[in-house]
Structure formats: structure tokens, C-alpha cells
Amino acid sequence: MTRMTGAQALIKALEMERVDVMFGLPGGCILPAYDPLLESSIRHVLVRHEQGAGHMAEGYAHVTGKPGVAMVTSGPAATNLVTPLMDAYMDSIPMVGITGQVGTAAIGTDAFQECDTVGITRSCTKHNDLVMSAEDIPMAIRQAFHIATTGRPGPTLVDLPKDVLQNQMTWHWPSDDEVIASLPGYRPTTKGHPRMIKEAARLIMAAERPVLYVGGGMLKARAAEALRELVELTGIHVVTTLMARGVFPDSHPLNLGMPGMHGTATATTAMQKSDLLINLGARFDDRITGKVSAFAPEAKIIHVDIDPAEQGKVRRPDVPIVGDCRLVTEELIKAIRDLKEGGTVQPDLTAWKSRISGWQEQFPLTYEQSEPGSALKPQYCLEKLRDAAPEGTIVASGVGQHQMWSSLHWKFEQPYTWVNSGGLGTMGFSIPAAIGAKVGRPDRTVWAVDGDGCFQMTAQELVTATVERIPIKVALLNNSYLGMVRQWQEMFYDERYSEVYLSTDCPDYVKWAEAMGCVAIRVESPEEVEPAIEKANSINDRTVVVEFRTDSDEKVFPMVPAGMGNDDLIVHPSQQSIRDRLA
Amino acid sequence: MTAINVHGSSLNHHILSVLVQNRPGVLARVASLFARRGYNIYSLAVAPAEEEGMSRITICVDVDSSPLEQIVKQLFKLIDVVKISELDPRRSVERELLLVTVRATAESRHQVVELCGIFEGKVLAVAPDAVTLSLEGHPDKLDDFEELLAAYGIVELQRTGRVALPKLDRSARLRAVNSPNMKGQVG
Ligand SMILES: Cc1ncc(C[n+]2csc(CCOP(=O)(O)OP(=O)(O)O)c2C)c(N)n1
């Protein structure tokens, strides 16, 4: 019988869960846990703000598939963790938050730095738990990791009162069976229903205008291989949502890219005109569907999702399949093979394919190159960045125009190379997420693509990057504005710009980055772009910030205005005259 | 649209009998889920269930506020929720308890007590100008009782919210009546 403190049990439990790194910042109530950390094999990355710890944990989870861990103290530190928890909840990122809490005797007395962490985080975690006895710590940690990583992944939180960390306990590591028995209400379905899978296969073999609508669930399920096989077997086009970029290579001729509000004209239109949408791990988000009543009106729906509550939440599927996306896709492949062997032939897709390639030819992604001497085009900078990036480069983006341009103009060839805040749209996500990604994949080049608005929300974590020796690269697309909001004001509020101008010169990003220990480069003209990127790529022992001064007038196209149907998509102005060919 | 009174009578309500692990905060989880997703609750009753460590929450939901299917699926995502039974009012037995203090002077008291008698309620306490009554029964019956008492002046009223169990099917009912320990409990 090994006796130890609750804090020692916590650290041991994290080691047992094979945690190799965590992100955090200590304080009063969590202090006991930081002491045994000194003897632990776990690396701790000391952040400058707890929000950073949370997004780093997310970035780490995005690229490794392993749960990210953030450990912070009570009160203000716990509330600082709320944004990343919500972000992880929206994007189904496995993450475990560990928070200190005031001593059990002080709970409920408005003690110093007390807050109702479990209450506050109830609706932004998959599950949370306030542990009231040191004996319960190992089970609470096991449950937290089990719940975060199985079924539909998501964030969990364990709240630990200070005396619970200090008290002595007898170590017991619960077995898998004990963990499962302790959660009688939690039994995720992973295997799809065979009859539904057969029915789906039948629909796929009969569809004339099918589209594979692939979402983040396919990345979570590590189903990239299975997807490729399914595409090759059926010859069906793929659209990859913002959350799924990278799950299928952009270079593949059947990949139409991202659909939705800022999707490619072809991806969005192909969904609209389809007669069968095969939804694999996506959730009919409003950024994809536009006005739901006008979305893909002729399409039958196959919906594969591990979360039964997604079935029928937005669009009622003809064939709902609850299960793990990889397992179901594999079964689907078998079922289609069986049908083929039994003599079923797919309808001829040639007409549909030529319609699609017609759209692709007429409505490619486009932008006007800048005039000599005028501000840079952000798309140009991104294309140059992309072309010079080593294979496997990971891109982490902020939220705004630069996010949409990154998703549109980058060419993702491998899964887990795109890290972004999709569901919550959290400005300030990119720098800490990039740091977390670099910790998870130190062998890879990691570019944070950021806007000037976003940068100012979490830039202090570049100090963390410098001090902890986590060299990332930041491409700061500085358009002096909260660009995405400016775009909406320009297009939908008669160019009445209200509180979107930041500043052209303040802050001085180069000085700021240098003060945080980074190498900083400012780029103002097109001919400086490539040399600056080359220099940034040559520096691998320090964080590099490249500030691109970009055109504040540039807008993201295509665009479906909020509340409109996807048939009302606005193409790039240069394609406006042929708009009606998108039919 | 069918008119519904505040207690969820009429057939537009559905009753969910939710078996949960009896852990701190479980009721808050259920309540905040309903608030967060915009589902309306008519009533909610909680008590320990027959199984050790479990509680049963009986929720009467407004199925016009959101499809029942979504409500059930979202509820089931709560880790502490172990089992959910949907009870269609047409196929379940529903009961509720009402306590009421009604103004009753020496002149009107006998009328109030008579009414109570007709409904098979109980007189719990009598004061010079008021009586406290209790009535157990189907929520619709409680509605009628409440309406009739209103004329005398209701001082205070408290209802528990409905609890329910599935109706036994015909064969099961027969078995229950024939089994000696169950006698007199079916009805
Ligand atoms: C925390 C947070 N606050 C506000 C918003 C609303 N919002 C969405 S995009 C955007 C502008 C982002 O500006 P910037 O980082 O400069 O990027 P740009 O759009 O110019 O590329 C704002 C304010 C948000 N998504 N997140």
C-alpha cells in the first residue's frame, strides 16, 4: 500500500495516462501539485496567460491526436481557461483541464480566489468533476482522460481543492473495468448499424450527383486512409470543411476544397446541386449550409457521426449512421464492394463530373495582383509562404479574413497539418495553438498565420516560445483593421466603418517581436516577400515574426452573406459577369 | 395550437423519466442543459430511485419548444444520465400532489370541505379563516380542483410536479393483480 499526497497521486496519475507535456501557470490553490512536478518526467510549459495554456493544449491535441493538458490555479486562472475549453468543446478537441480550488472547508464562503469552476465550465466541457477526497484523484483523472478521448472527443475538467491535494491517500490505479463500471451512463456507439450501412451503400451506388461532405470527425477518427479508399472505389468528389482541411490531399483531382460561407464556388455549388450528400463526421454547421431551408434541396442525406445528437439536429438524414467515422467508412467500403461484386453498377457520373470541372475552370480562386508600390495582397503572401514551406508544414491560424485565405490558398496534403478555431472562432488562437503544435511535433515547421487584431490578443505567448525554446514562425498579415468585420461593414453596412480601424503603426510589431526575443522582419513590397520567407525558413532555433503590410481593402471571396442561401453566393467581382453559369 | 396551462396538461407535453447517477451537481447539469438549448420544462421532480446511488428525475417537457428526439439525445450526452424513458401521456400513469391553503370562513368552510370530499382530498389543518387541503391524483384532476377553489380565494398553493410510470400492458396488469404482494396496489 503506497501512501502519498493527493498532489503526488495527481502527477503519478498523469504519468500513468502517458502525459509527456502540460501547459500551465501556478498559483495559490494548485501550488501543492507543482511540487511533485519537479520530480516528474512530464515537461511543463510555463505560459504567460492561462488562455494560452488552453490553446496550446488544443494545438498539441490537434496535431498529435493525444489529449492536451492544461493546469492552472483557481478563480481568475480557471476563468481564463473558459475560452479554450469552449473552443475545444465546439471543435471536439480532446483536452483535460486541471484547476486548483479553495480548500473543501472554504468552498461556498467566497474565499480568496474561489469561483464555481465546475458550475462555470459545465456547459463548455463534455464532463467536469470537483474532487472532494484525495482517494478519488486517480479515478477522477482516469475518467477525465477516458471521456475526453472516446466517443465524440472533447474537453474535460478536474477541479482539485487545495486540501485534497495536500491530504494523504493510498494509491490505487483503477482498472479499465472499474472506470467503465463507474460511468454506467457513458457507452459511446462506435460500430455503425449494419442495415444502415447497407442502405447507405445502396444509395451511394444509385446516386447520380453524389458528394462526400467530409468534416472534422474524419480527422478525429483518423480515417484519412479509409476516406481515400472510399473515394478511389467510388470516384465521388470530396469537399472538406474548415475543420477537415488536410484529411484528403488538396492535390487530388476529386478534392473540391472547402465549402460554405467562404468556400470555393465549386465546393459550395456541388453540394447545392447534389442528389446525395454523404456526410462523414460533419455537422451541417450554419457556416456550411447557409439558410438551412435552401440548402442542397434535392439531396438525400447519409449522415455518419459518433454523436447521435448530431443526427437530425439541423437536417434530417435519410440514412443516419451512429458510429466511429473510420469504422463506418471501412464497413461502407466493404458494403459497396459487395454490391459491385453482386453486379450493381454505379450510374455514369460523367455528366456530373464535367459540370463540376466546368465550374472549376470558370470559377477558380482568384484575386487581383497589387499594383507596383501599393500594399501587398494577403493571398500572394500566403501563396509564397505555401510554396516555400517544407513538406508536412503545420499551419495554425487565427480568426478572420486571414483564416479564410489560409484555408483557401494553402494546399494541404497531409492530415493534422491545419490547426484552427472553427466552431467558436476564437481570435488569438493561432500563436498559442502553434506553440502547442510545435511541442507536439517538434520535427515540423509550424507557421502561425495571424491577423493584427488576433496577434494583439495573445502575442505575449511569443515570450513563452522564446523562453521555452519552442521556435515557431508567425506570418502576421497586418491590414491595420479588424479585417473581417470591416468587410461586413463595407458590404452590408454601406461602408460605414465603425470601430474596426486598429492602427497602421502602433504597435510597432517588429520592435514588439524583438522585445519578446523573436527575429522580426517587416515586408512592405512584393519583391521583399520571397527573401523574407526564405530568411524565416532558414532560422530554426528562434521564433520568427514576419509582418506583411497588406491591403486593407482586400476581401474574401466567394461569400455567402449571413442568412442567405448558398445559391446566393457572391463570386469574386471579376467573375460576376458569368455568375449565372454557376448552375 | 392547442392551449396548454402552466402545468402542462393536454397532450402536448411529454414526460421523460431520467435515471441519473446521484452525484453532486447532476440536477444542475440537467437544468442548465434545458436552459442552454432553449427547451421548456413544465415541471420537474427528483427523488432517489429504487437502485442504490441512482436518482430518478421526472421531467415534463413542452414538445412544442423543441423536438423530443433532440431533447432526449442531448440529455443522454450528459455523462451522469444512465437511462431515459419517454412516457407518452396516453400510455402512462401520472400522479401529482397538491397542497393548498384556501380562505374559508365559518360560512364557507363547509362548502370547501365538501368540495374536498368530492375530489377525495384531505383536510390537513383548519384555522378560523382558512383551511389547508391536500389532493393527490392525476394532474388534470388537480387542475380542476384548483380552478374550483379559486372562487374562495387561494392563500398559498404548492404542487409537486408530476411523476409517472409506464402503464402496464394488459397481461402484465393481470399478473400484477394475481400476485399476492401486489394486490390493491394497481389502479
Ligand atoms: C475573441 C473574439 N472577438 C471578436 C471576434 C469577432 N471577429 C471575427 S473576425 C474579427 C477581426 C479579426 O481581425 P484580424 O485579426 O486583424 O484579422 P483579419 O480579419 O483582418 O484578417 C473579429 C473582431 C472574434 N471572432 N473573436
Q: What is the mean pLDDT of each successive set of 10 residues along chain A, which is 583 residues long?
A: 96 98 98 98 98 98 98 98 98 98 97 97 97 98 98 98 98 98 96 98 98 98 98 98 98 98 98 98 97 98 98 97 98 98 97 98 95 91 98 98 98 98 98 98 98 98 98 98 98 97 95 98 96 98 98 97 95 96 91
**Superfamily of chain region A194-362:** TPP-binding domain (3.40.50.1220)
CA–CA distance, A524 with A548 (Å, rounded to integer): 6
Burial label for A20, CB within 10 Å (0-12, 13-18, 19+), is middle
Q: Measured at the alpha carbon of residue A40, what is the angle toward residues A39 and A43, in degrees to the nearest 5?
A: 125
Ligand 1 lined by A83 (C-beta under 6 Å): no
| Residues facing residue A160 across a β-bridge | A100
Q: Return the number of other C-beta atoms located less than 10 Å from residue A511's C-beta.
A: 10
Q: Which residues on chain A are in Cβ contact (under 8 Å) with B80?
A: 185
Q: Where does CATH 3.40.50.1220 sit in chain A?
A: 194-362
Q: What distance in Å separates the CA atoms of residue A132 and residue A168, rounded to the nearest whole number?
A: 13
For B184, phi then psi, to 5°, come to 80, -5
CA–CA gap between residue A439 and residue A446 (Å, rounded): 10
Helices A483-492 and A401-409, packing angle to 10 deg? 100
Nearest CB partner across the interface for B79, out of A147, A307, A312: A147
pLDDT at B178: 46
What's the pLDDT score for residue B4?
43
Active site residue A112: yes
Considering only CA atoms, which of A82, A74, A83 is closest in space to residue A101?
Answer: A74
Residue A498 neighbours by CB distance under 10 Å: 9
Give me ligand 1 centre to Cα A452, in Å.
9
d(CA A155, CA A13): 18
Residue type, A139: M
B72 vs A370, more confident? B72
List the grid coordinates of B101.
Answer: 391553503
Q: Which atom of ligand 1 approaches the CA of A402 most closely?
A: 21
Q: What is the pLDDT of residue B88?
A: 82
In this prediction the pTM is 0.94
Neighbours of A422 (CB within 10 A): 23
Q: Is a pLDDT exceeding 60 seen at residue B9?
A: no
- Please tell me the distance from the alpha carbon of residue A279 to that of residue A282, in angstroms, as a whole number: 6
Residue B70 to residue A313, Cβ atoms within 8 A: yes
**Cα three-residue angle A40-A46-A48, rounded to 5 degrees:** 165
> Strand locations in A281-368, DSSP E?
300-305, 319-322
**CATH 3.40.50.970 residue window(s) in chain A:** 3-181, 378-549
CA distance linking residue A398 with residue A63, whole number of Å: 16
Instruction: Kindly give the pairing relationship between strand B163-166 and strand B92-103.
Output: antiparallel
Q: Quick one: which H or E segment has residue A280?
A: strand A276-280
**Do β-strands B54-62 and B13-21 pair in parallel, antiparallel, or remain unpaired?**
antiparallel
Residue among A381, A399, A430, A455 to mutate when testing ligand 1 (max atoms within 8 A of CB): A399
ipTM: 0.91
Residue A100 phi, psi (nearest 5): -80, 155
A181–B contact, CB cutoff 8 A: no
Which CATH superfamily hosts domain A378-549?
A: Thiamin diphosphate (ThDP)-binding fold, Pyr/PP domains (3.40.50.970)
Optimal mutation site among A127, A143, A303, interface B, most CBs of chain B within 10 A: A127
Nearest by CB to residue A312, choosing from B69, B81, B82, is: B69
Q: What is the pLDDT of residues B42-52, one digit of tens each?
A: 889 999 998 89
Domains of chain B as residue ranges with CATH:
13-91+167-176 (3.30.70.260), 93-164 (3.30.70.1150)
Strands A127-130 and A68-72: unpaired
Which site among A86, A116, A122 would you substitute to test the B interface, given the most B Cβ atoms closer than 10 Å to its Cβ? A122
Residue A417: alpha-carbon gap to chain centroid = 10
Domain A3-181 sits in CATH at 3.40.50.970
Residues B162-180: b if buried by 16+ CB within 10 A, e if exposed: bbbeeeeeeeeeeeeeeee
Element housing B13 (H / E) = strand B13-21
Output DSSP code: residue A290. B
Choice from A261, A484, A490 to test ligand 1 binding pocket (greatest atom count within 8 A of CB): A484
Strands (E), B52-138: 54-62, 81-87, 92-103, 122-127, 130-137
Q: Write out residues 48-87 of B within 8 Å (CB-CB) of A.
A: 67, 69-70, 73-74, 76-83
B186 falls in which pLDDT band (50, 70, 90)?
A: very low
Cβ of B32 and A313 within 8 Å? Answer: no
Place of cell 478525429: A220
- Per-residue pLDDT, B91: 86
A488 lines ligand 1 (CB under 6 A): no
- C-alpha pair distances (Å), A494 with each of A94, A487, A498, A499, A502: 42, 10, 11, 15, 20
CB contact under 8 A, A184 and B82: yes
